[in-house]
Structure 1
């Protein structure tokens, strides 16, 4: 009997036309390093009195959620940005035939749902999660290695694992991963030389609708107020950012990943507020300060976060 192995597992996903109904086609394989999306049912203990030993336990309601570790790449990332922020505005990259610009903006009142099939062909086991929405994206920039992220997903239904796929023959995105050496952090449009690391969490703060549905699952997922928070760790080389933070003056903050002029990801926040950190001397080495930040919509009510992805994919 074959045993399931992570190295053989696959994830195929497609956006839904009808929420909680898996599409018959249109699936794409999504590259990932880990897939924690799963159905979990806890136990409810016996509450009857009259005997010292308990009676039978019962299964409680179903919870469908989990984190998926993803590479930050040129093509498949567009699927996750659409899931997190809604459909982009897409168009030709002017003067560059075969290249396109996709602009995703936070703040949409509704978000698309998708179905994701978790495939373990060695068993075989094919489990279709339906009515899924992307709740969070976490990402860290540092000096070396690949740029990876974690997407938090919540689902509304799941089918009993089958022995064959229900995703048809999925398409594949070309894998072109961003490296940390291709990253830069910009404050007020100027690249910063003293950033040791940067991280952020974008959250849709999905509200699980705990209605009585008769099928053990939640009744829906409603996006609440979005949030963009994170940290900037800098070598202490100037008082400038401390002065800005103390004054409560917002900055424009961007995380930029660049392969070339036509292959690029920019995560731009036009209005970011910084905490005022300490700068402890912890020995003879360099002095560092950790600024936490919160992003806000711009003064003209434009998006808190704009993600611009340049690649060869025509549309998402």
Structure 2
């Protein structure tokens, strides 16, 4: 028997038409990933039944929790599938390379089938009813540019055959930290050393019902909260003054590779007041947390993600 090896493993992704149900003829995608740690947990409930013995009665089984984290490269093609999982179908324009895909906040998120594949065994661990609950990334410095997803799901099955007989391979065309930039209020910020973005989709994971077999019956969406941090050299008081005065501004995080790009635009943001402090004799930094919101921005969304690449359509995936 062959031992399962990480480099031989795959993460397959497909979209569900009905929550928690694998599609009859799935279009499966072999997703680039650095880590996939989806798992199922089920509580064992100790029994208090007395039966004239010291030995405990067999415990009962409780509800199941499908959850975990996935780390993926921020790339030109594959990342669009994760954007669709967060925001639904994009508006796509263009008749050839490059295509422009615009994702905005919508009322609901599509549910996914995510399958951790171990072909060495073989074993195929399929998780149904999955949605992205949280998303985050940090850029700046010499680290690999990756994104983190926290996943909630409904149920898991393990089979000796995969969900889809063949998977569409996604070309790995990564963006890098040095291709990133940041704008505040429409002007480039050359003093920022690090920036981060976090999205909490507010999924309600407490949806267990009588007769559901201990599985989540749905994952209703809650309020979407967008936040992050920018760390900058403390050269002037412009950003600090914005925070002190609660002045609304905008932020744009962008990565560019030739004619292709990925952009996160937050048209309305407000900075939290902090102090730079003095940590050493060296240069002083200031870290400013921010929150994005929507009041009356022309984009109609607290965050707008724009992916420009050579992939024709994510809506039919």
Structure 1 residue ranges without an equivalent (≥5): none
The answer to which of 285-294 and 19-28 deviates more is 19-28
Q: Matches of residues 35-50 of structure 1 in structure 2 within 5 Å?
A: 35-48=36-49
1:40-73 deviations in Å (ceiling 9; x for gaps):
1122122235766643323321111111011000
Q: Secondary structure at the match of 1:78?
A: helix
2:218 aligned partner: 220
Computed over aligned residues only, the root mean square deviation of the Cα atoms, in angstroms, reads 1.6
2-side partners of 1:254 and 1:65: how far apart? 31
1:113 aligned partner: 111
1:209-237 deviations in Å (ceiling 9; x for gaps):
22223311011000100010111111100
Cα gap change, 1:72 to 1:300, in 2 (>3 Å): closer
Contact 1:127 1:162 in 2 (8 A): yes
2:173 aligned partner: 176
The CA deviation at 1:6 is 1.8
2:302 aligned partner: 304
1:15 aligned partner: 15
For normalisation by structure 2, the TM-score amounts to: 0.93
Contact 1:84 1:136 in 2 (8 A): no
Q: Matches of residues 71-90 of structure 1 in structure 2 within 5 Å?
A: 71-90=73-92
1-side partners of 2:53 and 2:286: how far apart? 60
1:119-158 deviations in Å (ceiling 9; x for gaps):
0111111111111111111100112232101111111122
Q: Matches of residues 248-259 of structure 1 in structure 2 within 5 Å?
A: 248-259=246-257
Q: Matches of residues 61-76 of structure 1 in structure 2 within 5 Å?
A: 61-76=63-78
Contact 2:19 2:218 in 1 (8 A): no
2:101 aligned partner: 102
The number of residues matched between the two structures is 310
The reply on whether 1:156 has 2:136 as its aligned counterpart is no
The reply on whether 1:206 has 2:203 as its aligned counterpart is yes
Contact 2:268 2:297 in 1 (8 A): no
The CA deviation at 1:175 is 0.9
2:265 to 243, 268, 275: 268
The CA deviation at 1:166 is 2.0
Contact 1:10 1:118 in 2 (8 A): yes
1-side partners of 2:122 and 2:88: how far apart? 33
1:51-101 deviations in Å (ceiling 9; x for gaps):
6664332332111111101100000100000000111000107xxx42200
